[in-house]
Structure 1
Amino acid sequence: MLLRRLGIAALSAMVVATGSASSSVAVASPDRAGDYAEVRQAIDELVAGGAAGVLVRVRDGQQVWTHSAGVAEVGRADPVPLDGRFRIGSITKTFVATVVLQLVDEGRVGLGDSVAAYLPQFGLDPRITVRMILQHTSGLFNYTGEFGPDGIEPGILPITGPEALEAVNRSFHPDELVGFALSKPARFAPGEGWSYSNTNYILAGLLIEKLTGLPYAVQIYTRIIVPLGLWSTFVPGTIRKIPGPHAHGYADYLGTGDPKSADVTELPVTWAGAAGEIISSAADLDIFLTALLEDRLLPPPLLAEMRDRRSFASGSAQYGLGLLYREVAPGCTSVGHDGGVPGYTTELAGTDDGRKTVVVSVTSGPTLSPEDLEAAVEWDAAVSEIIVEIVGAALCDTTTTP
């Protein structure tokens, strides 16, 4: 789905691989004998369908079940590490929105304030408010590309081929990303529609820096990572490597079918910035979402603002201020966010009270050329559908508890 694609370039990351290794660990009371059979089946479907590796962590109260399948690196037998780090893509937005709301709580900015008043260098429509950029109601063009009624309108990154690989290998400055978006017509007048745009969160990151005088990454560390002890969570900037144990992700930009040339694990993601650059782990994401939903990062009135949500045009899901709400089973709605960058697709979801959470990380493989856009879109849709099944089974079906 659109939220999972950080941009059109992420379509080329949804490619096929093979793998069979698996591992799991469970911490559960002896009187609860379920083994998350539906979740296991869905994980196996992802690997059989082309994922290089899959990692799932489910928490129900104090009980945790973690399982992985596939391989950490194509061509090697090592399983996906249960404590592995991965690129979380647009789940970064939930971190950024939390920091902005903390600044609102401190009286440094208001949700109804004009963003142009703080970032005058861009010549933004003065009607665009802080709330609008956090909720994707600004109307600003998505710098990573748009899916419109007439097809794809390309973004700042080429979709496939050597040009795409060259683009994702270079560094981008946030001003360049915003400037590209503003060179395109707005989707609608501010506040008169809803359209997911990574441009909004590049602006949110710049707003944090303007208000605090420090890089937005420093605010993420000092306000969230350090207080919660998220020692597997990083804001990489220009650093290419994923520190610590991790699985590899692939996107065959060159169409060679060679896993080594398709390995995008260490490609920089400066083009994602505050819209999607963070690296984390399943355990850290669980801690973060739980703390957020339990009022430990925001006072109740501002968490209520964050939860106040708008429906998508299709009405199939709703979006708050950096929070995605979605019906994942009849009568059961999850809250969290999804994310994707080339090679990695991630889901963070929980029940509204934070009692149950589930984290899913899928790494794509190297054998489908991204030149085949139709196949990439089909794979992305299949991954999205199966992830929703995993979330529904983990959060909503009481027969699948550990």
Structure 2
Amino acid sequence: MTENLPRRTWAALLVSAAAVAGLSTTTLLATDAAADSPRHHRADVAQQQLDALVEESGFPAALATVRDERGRERDLTAGVSDLATGSPVPVDGQVRIGSNTKPFTAAVVLQLVDEGLVDLDATIETYLPGLVRGPGGDGTAITVRQLLQHTSGLPDYDHVLVTDYLAVQHRYIEPHQLLDVGLAQPALFAPGTSWEYSNTNYVLAGLLVQEVTGRPIGEVITDRVIEPLGLDDTYWPLEGEQEMRGEHPQGWFAPAPDVAYTDVTTQDPSFGWAAGQLVSTPSDLLDFFTALVDGELLSPEMLAEMQATVPAPGATVRGAEAYGLGLQTFTLSCGGTAWTHGGDIPGSETRGAVTPDGEGVMLAVTALPTSDEQALAVEQAVDAVLCA
């Protein structure tokens, strides 16, 4: 899901307060006039970054898909899949994408808005009467827009639900249980007065979709987003499904720096639900974000709503960004802004971004960061590739 390391996610819950001192980053070499095409140079930079994430930052493995300005793609890997056997990382392997699920959920909600079935500025009470009550918030005062934008003030259920991830790794949790845990906490602020990342918002967005369509959120996302875009390696795990379906690297988890990794590839992702349950690959995820920003999924009016942002302090380790409706800015060190989100779930972290002209990168590391330095290294890798 996602995060407070950059955002409020499992990374925030489980990262040790003691940061590892000193970030080691890869020095990028300038190309000369005789260098290969931009595609080859960008792929070289991407490979350097993946290697550094493994060799210097300590992730078990990293994998990525890179696209240049001509639309040419390259899949890359580094590290090993299985720490015990040293087995290779599958090229463009499946990973759990955590909160990169949120843009899928937001896109479906905005499609329903475009169809006149949902009003962005109506309260959640309009669609789910009596459901949002408690110290955490009141559904009569929270709008659909505020859910998607993280300006509702609803507290995040994952701060309470998982204090020891390995103890609940295989536990199935109902969406209404996630909501109840969130609402039992004090509200963060009055709706619309601030920004704070909360997975509870997207559980409610998923329940809204189900109420309006009469179908499960996973089915709706599949029918409206995954299948139309031909994302063949992206899927919504079935209820209780813990094994990964396709070729995938192992996913690893450590609760703090200097703690040995535990294999968490097999897990119940129900704690993510509409906020973070999907499985995908770097190439599928890159195709999704590209199609989203290109307007293939939404009308121009709805895409403009999605990209209308509010300040999101602390949204990334690199610094403040701006958050729209399930979509976030990614400020490039070389100038300009790309579009992104990000996802954290035990066993993997996915980061990437796409530019307005179609260039992009999507990468995954096969463990959550256990320090700000590790998290920053992943974000800087994305920046380095796009600024190559």
TM-score, scaled relative to structure 1: 0.83
How far 1:215 sits from its partner (Å)? 0.4
- What SS does the corresponding residue of 1:111 show, helix, strand or coil? coil
Shift in CA distance, 31/132, structure 1 to aligned 2, threshold 3 Å = closer
1:209-358 alignment runs, 5 A limit: 209-236=210-237, 237-252=239-254, 262-313=262-313, 316-353=320-357, 355-358=358-361
**Are positions 1:157 and 2:162 aligned together?**
yes
Letter aligned with residue 248 of structure 2: H
Match of 2:62 in 1: 54
What number of residue pairs does the alignment pair up?
356
Deviates more, 1:34-43 or 1:273-282: 34-43
8 Å Cα contact 2:61-2:89 kept in structure 1: yes
- Counterpart mapping for 1:3-402 below 5 A: 3=7, 5-6=9-10, 8-11=12-15, 31-32=37-38, 33-34=40-41, 36-48=43-55, 49-60=57-68, 61-120=70-129, 121-123=131-133, 124-145=138-159, 155-158=160-163, 160=164, 164-236=165-237, 237-252=239-254, 262-313=262-313, 316-353=320-357, 355-364=358-367, 377-378=370-371, 381-397=372-388
1:294/1:212 Cα in 2 relative to 1: closer, same or farther (>3 Å)? same
Contact 1:250 1:343 in 2 (8 A): yes
Letter in 2 for 1:384: A
- SS of the residue corresponding to residue 228 of structure 1 reads coil
- Retained in 1: the 8 A contact 2:98–2:344? yes
**CA-atom RMSD in angstroms:** 2.5
Shift of 1:10: 5.0
Larger mean CA deviation between 285-294 and 89-98 belongs to 285-294
Distance 1:317 1:133 in 2: 18
Aligned AA (1:51): F
Q: How big is the shift at 1:208?
A: 0.3
In the other structure, the counterpart of 1:151 is none
User: Does the CA-based 8 Å contact 1:84-1:245 persist in structure 2?
Assistant: yes
Deviation at 1:80, TM superposition (A): 1.1
Q: Which AA in structure 2 matches 1:137? A: T
Residue deviations 1:194-225 (CA, integer Å, cap 9, x gap) = 00000000000000000000000010010011
> Structure 1, residues 239-289: CA drift from partner, whole Å, max 9, x if none?
101111000111256999776xx2100111111111111000111111111
2:276–2:343 CA contact under 8 A, matched in 1? yes
Deviation at residue 119 of structure 1 after TM alignment: 1.3
Q: What is the Cα deviation at residue 383 of structure 1?
A: 2.7
Q: Which amino acid aligns with 1:156?
A: L
Letter matched to residue 200 of structure 2? T
| Counterparts in 2 of 1:111 and 1:6: CA distance versus 1, 3 Å | farther
Letter aligned with residue 341 of structure 2 = H
Identity percentage over the alignment?
38
Q: What SS does the aligned partner of 1:340 have?
A: strand
- Residues 42 and 385 in structure 2, CA contact (< 8 A), matched pair in contact too: no
**In structure 2, distance between residues paired with 1:30 and 1:36:** 11
Contact 1:53 1:69 survives alignment (8 Å)? yes
Q: Contact 2:15–2:256 at 8 Å: present in 1 too? A: no
CA contact (8 A) 1:7 1:144 kept: no
Q: Going by fraction, where is strand more abundant, 1 or 2?
A: 1
1:178 corresponds to which letter in structure 2?
Answer: L
